[in-house]
Structure 1
Amino acid sequence: MKKLSLILLLLSTALAAQESQQETSTTYKKRVLESTEIDFLASYYTQEGDNAAVTGGIGTEELTDLTPTILVSIPLNDDDVLTIDASISAYTSASSSNVGPFDGNGPANPFVASSGASRQDVLTTVSGNYSHSSDDRNDIWSANVAVATEYDYFSVGFGGSYTKLFNEKNTEISVKANVFLDTWNAIYPTELRDQPSFIKFDDESRNSYSLGIGFSQILSKRMQGSLSLDVIQQEGLLSTPFQRVQFADVTDVIVQEFTLGDDVERLPDSRVKIAAGGRLHYYINEIFTVRTFYRYYIDDWGINSHTASIEIPIKITDKFTLYPSYRFYTQTAADYFAPFNEHLSTQDFYTSDYDLSDFDANQYGFGVSYTDIFAKMHIWKLGLKTIDLRFRQYERNSGLKASLFSGGFNFVMD
């Protein structure tokens, strides 16, 4: 009897210890985000070209844009993270200034910027994202909301995503969905506003719905690949109200040095976009890694495009990495595109926006990053974790050239 009591006592002690160990193992887990992180980002974009859609496919495309951004990621507990993103995009555009081409001091000319109010604007965007990870970190749910506004445009967006990791986290499947509800405050070219025959858009809303599916797989110790499929449905006002079109079968009216618009861009009120792509990353050694990307795009407006890019990070020290890159892009023209003064007034849809034309483009990039995972350098209570500086040069065979300078500083709060 004493032996039985001793056995029961040892068994109960062992079970209690096992339960305690299980509770400890389930309650202790690595936090998704250890502490609050703050990113200070900024970009400066400049472009030039001679195919402005505002003036019907000819004219200056000169534009500059400065965008400061702050991104704050806050761990709410072990599993949940709240991210807030706020940015202000301030741009000056020579082409959009010619919505009102007669505001300048000299003769109106599509290749000369006017001084009207439309020459500059500010786009303000604020978004929030909430994500939750399961205890084993194999399931991640997220929800997001965004608001954007500028002088003639307002947008509200919301959506969510779900990510599943399995196969010892070597395989990942994700699905995401977003909705954007936009409203134009339509601004028309000055010469068309008071014409009795001019027809304004009766619906100034635009709704966009997107669904994306992703698959990622670690193929070996050195190689990782991923596939993605995105489908976007757009409905509503898909034309830009202040972009002019001149008709070949209508006599040109030229005031000073400016050809007046016969109408504004008219495009279908629906569009379906489908993009399928893949990435392949290969680790060569401690110094070199190769990152490749390809995407095929098609829509029901007649555009087909191919994108291919390669980036080769070069780790020159424990903290510094260089990022040379190259990107090639080619697309066919939309069914509704024609250059300046080549559309007919009998057509239902027409645009002279060279973004919808047939073109090839090359982009050359270079970047450098600094990383200190221990964030030893401090500014007040902020530890500097990473610095990232990038430059990209973009060139189309249509003559458009653009440069983008961007930088980011990532801080961790003590």
Structure 2
Amino acid sequence: MQKIYLHASLFFLSILSSFGQVTQQDSTAFKSRKLKTQEINFVSSYYTQDGNNSAVTGGIGTEELTDIATVFDITMARGDARNRLHSYRLEVGFDHYSSASSDLIDPTTISSASARDNRIYPSLSWAMQDDVKGYTIGAGLSVSTEYDYFSKGVNVNFAKFSKDRSREVGLSLGAFLDSWSMIYPIELRTLETPSGPVDNPDAGGTNPRNSYNASVSLAQVINKRLQASAMLDLAYQTGQLATPYQRVYFTDNSVNVEKLPDTRFKIPVGIRLNYFATDRILVKTFYRFYTDDWGITAHTAEVELPYKLTPFLSVSPFYRYYTQSAADYFAPYKEHDRQNEFYTSDYDLSEFVSHLFGLNLRYNSADGILGIKKLNTLELRYDHYNRDTGLVADAIALAITLK
């Protein structure tokens, strides 16, 4: 189920983004017009967490969860008659999770379908780079499906870079059109009436949730040691934003499903600085400010220190600090008033401080690794995460690149 393993998904995204750096392809040197394999990536991770604030049971109870995620992607490229580089990327991801708390949606079963789930998420993207005119343009399609959730995504992007490649301005637009199955906790699937219990009409069918995103970025090479970039994101969501199987308990001991507004507007703003301190040490820093119309404000600060042990081997310790205020609609177990219009006991929407730290090992060789000529990169990453609410998580990932 989509929201149950939110933390695992965030971990996996951070893992993917840490492997390597995005670099511009030199299309002026790409002469072949035949479609050729350019790069193959394989990433696999294992994530585990535990805590005592499960939203499924109203903000109390186990948050024990495990998630195994695997992503495979292949990038192919060709040149055209105008010597522009066209890249095509096919990505297929597969997650399998098990969750003790989600099994309590229906605790009368020995092991319900919600106790574990699989998610499959293929995507296809295209990009064209024109070095003569100094721009890139691209588009992509994606699909994600699991037990109670189906999502379709589309995105387009454009970037313009300066003649000397020291500056780049980017714009991207995206939309996700999602459908939720309305799975209620077992005790809320019927309503009591004078003539006896009847089926709850809200506890069934599907509801939509749509997300629209726009992002503007500016990257600048300031000098031979310092690079900077700034990002502004705008996100708007509408539809079924509450999770239907998450309970909320009230001060009068009654219970209902989570209820949240059907719109949400988010504004994250970030800045990144990379400083080449020496030939061996790179200092990578990032700060992001976030606010939304649900009352949350948040700050993220990150630092990563890649150190080149040899020309082929580097080690990168990293740390991330995060703090956020609570949403206007959050309260812990049995602290909501029944008269409130909106209510949630999901601790993802609570006030908290979190810390993430870990280590990344990267081995890269253009001549091949372990006697395999096309094996270009091996990377191993470990993350440890903890919140002051008691949630603790660990993740380990392996990435392989073939060129």
Moved over 4 A (4+): 31-35, 196-199, 376-379
Instruction: Tell me if structure 1 keeps the 8 A contact 2:36–2:78.
Output: no
Q: Distance in 1 between matches of 2:246 and 2:209?
A: 17
* Structure 2 counterpart of 1:120, from 105, 116, 120: 116
Partner of 2:393: 402
Are the equivalent residues in 2 in contact too, given 1:44–1:405 (CA < 8 A)? yes
1:339 is paired with a residue whose SS is coil
2:220 is equivalent to residue 217 of structure 1: yes
**Distance in 1 (alpha carbons) for counterparts of 2:63 and 2:31:** 48
What's the counterpart of residue 234 of structure 2? 231
* Residues 220-369 of structure 1: pairs in structure 2 closer than 5 A: 220-249=223-252, 251=253, 262-369=255-362
Q: Which runs of 5+ in 2 are unaligned?
A: 1-26, 194-199
Aligned residue type for 1:346: Q
| 1:217/1:226 contact within 8 Å kept | yes
Q: Distance in 2 between matches of 1:392 and 1:339?
A: 28
Of 215-224 and 191-200, more deviation after overlay is shown by 191-200
Question: Do 1:203 and 1:237's aligned partners in 2 also have CA atoms closer than 8 Å?
Answer: no
SS at 2:191 equivalent? coil
Q: Which has the larger radius of gyration?
A: 1
- The number of residue pairs the alignment matches comes to 364
**Counterpart residue number, 1:82:** 88
More strand as a share of residues: 2
Over 3 Å counting, the alpha-carbon distance change for 1:331 and 1:376 in structure 2 is closer
Instruction: Kindly state the Cα deviation for residue 203 of structure 1 after the two structures are TM-superposed.
Output: 6.6
SS in 2 for 1:36: strand
Q: Given the two structures, how large is their TM-score scaled by the length of structure 2? A: 0.87
Equivalent position amino acid for 1:394 in 2: Y
The aligned counterpart of 1:387 is 378
Alignment of 1:95 onto 2:135: no
| Offset, 1:375 | 2.9
Which letter does structure 1 place at the counterpart of 2:395? Answer: L
Q: Secondary structure at the match of 1:373?
A: coil
**TM-score w.r.t. length of structure 1:** 0.85
User: Residue in 2 aligned with 1:411?
Assistant: 402
Q: How does 1:167-246 map to 2 (within 5 A)?
A: 167-196=163-192, 200=202, 204-246=207-249
Determine helix, strand or coil for the equivalent of 2:188.
Answer: coil
Counterparts of 1:175 and 1:98, CA distance in 2: 43
Which residue of structure 1 aligns with residue 70 of structure 2? 68
* d(CA) in 2 for partners of 1:76, 1:94: 48
Displacement of 1:185 in angstroms is 1.2
Instruction: For residue 28 of structure 1, report the CA deviation from its aligned partner.
Output: 6.0
Deviation at 1:376, TM superposition (A): 5.9
Q: Is 1:163 aligned to 2:159, yes or no?
A: yes
User: Structure 2 vs 1, CA of residues 396 and 376 (structure 1 numbering), >3 Å: closer, same or farther?
Assistant: closer
Q: Distance in 2 between matches of 1:137 and 1:375?
A: 35
8 A Cα contact 2:179 2:206, kept in partner: no
2:138 paired with 1:142: yes
Code of the residue aligned with 1:295 in structure 2: it is R
